Chains A and B, each alone.
Chain A
Amino acid sequence: MSLRSLNLPGIGTKYEFKTEKGDTVAIFFTKTGTIQMYTLQKGCNTPSAAEMTPAEARRLGNILTGAIIEADQESVEIAFSALADLRVTIHSFLIPKVIAGRTIEDLQIRAKTGATVIAVCRHDKNIINPAPTFVFETGDAALVIGESDQIRMFEREIMVE
């Protein structure tokens, strides 16, 4: 794989690389703020293109690095540099069958992991700050907030219960 980067006057920065199989991928960070990705299959003349906003490009990047495993689970880390570099991670989890029917209290989420469930999305409705007596159902998406270690703990301890 040979990566080539190029500064094009008036356009922006171009990154291009050839894959081992001979396909070409080119990414352009344009001055208009959008990101264009072109792929050209080996032996083909017309590339196909996709235009992305920076947010979409980041999401694609996350997928490519393997950070997001499922399309509907993702996490955001927010850093507050003014508050002694406080970092908070918010992660979304799909509730599996094994914990359906149990409550937040009963799962001892806070005690076991230190993380907090701040919202649950059920059938396109959002329940903010669910009470300890809240009962999970399969198909719920829970939004969990905490430090990244606490989130990892949540994933290991609670999601497999």
Chain B
Amino acid sequence: MEGIVLALFLCLLLALITKYLSVPAIPFYILAGIMLGKAGLGLVTSDVISRFFSDMGLIFLMFFMGLGLKPERVAANRSAVLTSGIIDLNVNMIIGFVAAYLLGFSIIESLIVASAFYISSTAMAITSLIENRKLMLREAETVIWLMVFEDLVLIIFLALISAGDQNLVIFVAKVLGVLAVLYAFAHYGKEFLISILDRDDELPILFTFAAVLTTASFSMYLGVPETMMVIALGVAFATTDPDAFEQHARPFKDVFLVVFFVFFGITIDFSGGMNWFMILVICVLAVVSKLISGILTGIVIHGSALSGLEIWGNTISRGEFSIAIAVLYGSPVVATTIAAMVIVTSIIGSFTAKYSSWLRRGILGLGRKKSPPHRVHVTR
């Protein structure tokens, strides 16, 4: 228990500092964990309580993702979402997979590294768009839809990989069954749900917590992983009053997710041997491959490579979902690699997001200097 208190206290300090400097907090939570845990001072070890807290963090992260996922909205914007999404998916998955495979990971491990490599941090991208006041840029919308597409891909990936040995058809049928039951509950119980959410006593928050936990606990009986169960719950509840659910689930998500990040760092173990070369290659490629996909997207969607640079600047950061993949499916070496990638890309990403407009202007300026200056006389 003292371990969690110490870790939380350190995270509180880090949160204060990172918010003050307006840089993302996630990489620092992980670094704090590494420092406190097995790989560092060995002050804190994970125990039953911390594992429970971390599980809650993951579950609430996934519930939030489900709440924000509105399939009908994606359908409405299909062409733009699909084009940019598919470019992003192909470029990054392929580069990530080939790189991981050549570096000596097995096929399954390479797939896991590639998925973590592909998926940008939605939280960091959106915070950076808001904090750097870029919402009006036309690239902002592309970035937002890219994040939605990536979330969809993540769900499919989670489903595929967690199906494991099970018959895929039966597994999909089970997931769809769960979704149908939850949808029916949200549909027929809509008035009941809204009447609960409207109260100003402890009921809304208690109900939200209980609903998420209950749904997650059913996973044991159904053979559907907890993550899929709570995403389905989120998607179903999003048809009632998603803002209210977000509001009531937020305190749990905020606290438990910090525990999740810091204990991810704590459980990282360097004793299996650290391959610095491998980590360096993955980190550099993680930045470069988003540059390639960003520029391609910029050219295809906005007709400008410079737009691509803006997209790149805001999507470099890998974060919460990459770590979720590492925690759920990664071996120690994979987890270490992903941790390093998240730390490096999110720190680089926070700078590129801040200075991308300078970068753009700089490149434009250089382009102008190269061409011979000619004077244009304007007569009015």
Contacts and interface: CB of A to CB of B under 8 A. Distances in A.
A49 B137 CA distance: 11
A14 B136 CA distance: 9
Interface in A1-54: 7-11, 14, 16, 24, 26, 28, 30-32, 34, 36, 38, 40, 46-47, 49, 51
Interface string B55-69: 000000000000011
Contacts of A24: 136
B227 interface: no
B81 to A, nearest CB: 11
A34 B130 CA distance: 9
Interface in B70-111: 70, 73
Chain B facing A: main interface SS: helix
Most buried by A among B73, B126, B136, B144: B136
B180 interface: no
B76 to A, nearest CB: 10
Nearest to B74: A9
Nearest to A50: B133
B205 interface: no
Given A10-B122, A11-B126, A38-B135, 16 more contacts: A8-B144, A9-B70, A9-B73, A10-B126, A10-B144, A10-B148, A24-B136, A26-B135, A28-B130, A28-B136, A32-B130, A36-B135, A38-B133, A47-B137, A49-B133, A49-B135
A11 B130 contact: yes
B269 interface: no
Interface in A44-72: 46-47, 49, 51
B135 A14 contact: yes
B129 interface: yes
Nearest to B144: A8
Contacts of A34: 130
A11 B135 CA distance: 9
B162 interface: no
For the complex of A and B, the 8 pairs showing the least CB-CB separation, nearest first, are A49-B133, A38-B136, A47-B136, A10-B126, A26-B136, A28-B135, A9-B148, A8-B144
Contacts of B136: 16, 24, 26, 28, 38, 40, 47, 49
B122 to A, nearest CB: 6
Contacts of A14: 135
Contacts of A40: 136
B357 interface: yes
